[in-house]
Structure 1
Amino acid sequence: MANSPSASPDAPPASAAPHVIALVDDDRNILTTLSIALQAEGFATRVYSDGSTALRALLDNPPDLVVCDIKMPRMDGLELLSRLREKSPLPLIFLTSKDDEADEAQGLSMGADDYIAKPFSQRLLIARIRAILRRSEIVRAGKLEGDGAGIDGPPLPEPIRRGLLTMDPARHLVEWNGEPVSLTVTEFLILEALAMRPGVVKTRNQLMDAAYHDDVFVDDRTIDSHIKRLRRKFRSVDPQFAGIETLYGAGYSFAEA
């Protein structure tokens, strides 16, 4: 087997118990290349080539996070997620071979944590995995704190309230005028960056810095695409939504109604 690439500075120390990532895809090339990349970053991996086999394993021996293709034989990713959510809140990122908004919307509404279209950057996927694992740990810590168990560590971030918008970063929850809005991790981070300072114009570069860590490169059009999706999702619950404003040539801002 080829030598694995060197781990990034963000990879956990060798003495720490590694996070376990389950990979579910019928493409063995993807399973192999992702396993090598994730192991180089300090993760442990388990691989499954079909949804039916994966479901049994995920319930019997849960990993920390699942990366799952949507289009698979025997049991596709959407059915896997549906049956998994009946018994487990395991974090899950969907991969798909086509940018199908219907699949994305359905997956997020069923409880997927993020959605990345093939072909994708391995560095981007690893950045999203780390972001979701951090968020999951915060949520678990919040539940312990709420039960009175008490934990060491920084306080949980406070919810953000801006006009009709409510965001809870600790639980990745978003509401507009009381109606839930399902966002990917990337969309959430972009909206959070805008909502933290209403009326202040954020450049595309600033939004890239907020949403993409680990030196992941994306171009301006990627941010524009996320903004369009954010507007579309909010307008699905409020057709009059105008909370994200464009200043042409400069960037975007959040308008606190």
Structure 2
Amino acid sequence: MTEAILVVEDEISLQETLAYNLKKQGYTVHTASTGGQALKFARELKPDLILLDIMLPEMDGFEVCRTLRQEMNTPILMLTARDDEIDRVVGLEVGADDYLTKPFSMRELLARVKAMLRRVRLIREDAEAHTAALESPAGGIMQFGNLEVNSTRREVLFNGKPLPLKPKEYELLHYLAIHRGQVLTRETILEKVWGWDFIGDSRTVDVHIRWLREKIEKDAATPERIVTVRGAGYRFEG
């Protein structure tokens, strides 16, 4: 599903430039020119991200941000021509997630947008995975033929017998299991299983995938449970 961005900017030439470049990146873009429109469209459209100028007609960006933050947790990137520290502080205090001072490069803005939306996706995936784990049958037991993953006991059974796994092997298998059928990139797996502060690279994922395959596949050389998706990552088939 295409992510939607609401651009709130009263300078029409900049508004059009932002919309054009964001659309080129594949985003769905909506625009607003006043504080009132910003509130109306944000409530109606429920975008994934809001780019919010501070100097707006009717209601400034600070007030718009303060109001929206009471109603929704949509990430907000504030834009302003003013570089005063107090403006940055106030922007963050009223609920903005990030702050960009004009003039800015389009490359930097697109990088900020990408990073913010990526964090939103990861948070959403975590919430969905947590819900899936809670709703799995028999109190957290996920059954895949002769493979059973018990999140309550933090235990894995293979052919009815406990399967000895290292902590990270279990966490990796559990993460794959609750995302069954989804293609997961190495980077996503690394961040979700090892954490943001892990010092290493995606080869760590490949090594642990190989170890898991040796323990749960009929033939590790031709895996059927943990499938490699060329150019993308891995998919757990169960």
Say yes or no: TM over 0.5: yes
Rounded Cα–Cα distance in structure 1 between residues aligned with 2:194 and 2:36: 40
Report the secondary structure of 2:192's partner residue: coil
Question: Does residue 125 of structure 1 match 2:161?
Answer: no
Task: Find the partner of 2:52 among 52, 60, 68.
Answer: 68
Q: Which runs of 5+ in 2 are unaligned?
A: 136-177, 200-238
Offset of residue 95 of structure 1: 0.3
Report the secondary structure of 2:71's partner residue: coil
Rounded Cα–Cα distance in structure 1 between residues aligned with 2:18 and 2:97: 19
Aligned residue runs from structure 1 range 25-36, under 5 A: 25-36=9-20
Aligned length: 147
AA partner of residue 126 (structure 1): L
* Residue in 2 that maps onto 1:37: 21
Per-residue CA deviations over 1:92-144 (Å, capped at 9, x if unaligned) read 10000011211211222332121100001011100110001011111111122
Q: Which runs of 5+ in 1 are unaligned?
A: 1-16, 160-168, 170-191, 198-257
CA gap 1:157/1:76 in 2 versus in 1, 3 angstroms = farther
Pick the structure with greater CA Rg.
2
Aligned residue runs from structure 1 range 71-220, under 5 A: 71-147=55-131, 148=133, 150-151=178-179, 152=182, 153=184, 154=189, 156=192, 169=196
Give TM-score scaled by structure 2 length. 0.57
Offset of residue 64 of structure 1: 1.2
Aligned residue runs from structure 1 range 226-237, under 5 A: none
CA gap 1:157/1:108 in 2 versus in 1, 3 angstroms = farther
Offset of residue 30 of structure 1: 0.8
CA gap 1:80/1:158 in 2 versus in 1, 3 angstroms = farther
Give TM-score scaled by structure 1 length. 0.53
Identity %: 34
Per-residue CA deviations over 1:121-176 (Å, capped at 9, x if unaligned) read 011100110001011111111122233263344262556xxxxxxxxx5xxxxxxx
Rounded Cα–Cα distance in structure 2 between residues aligned with 1:83 and 1:106: 14
Per-residue CA deviations over 1:188-215 (Å, capped at 9, x if unaligned) read xxxx6xxx67xxxxxxxxxxxxxxxxxx
Higher helix share: 2
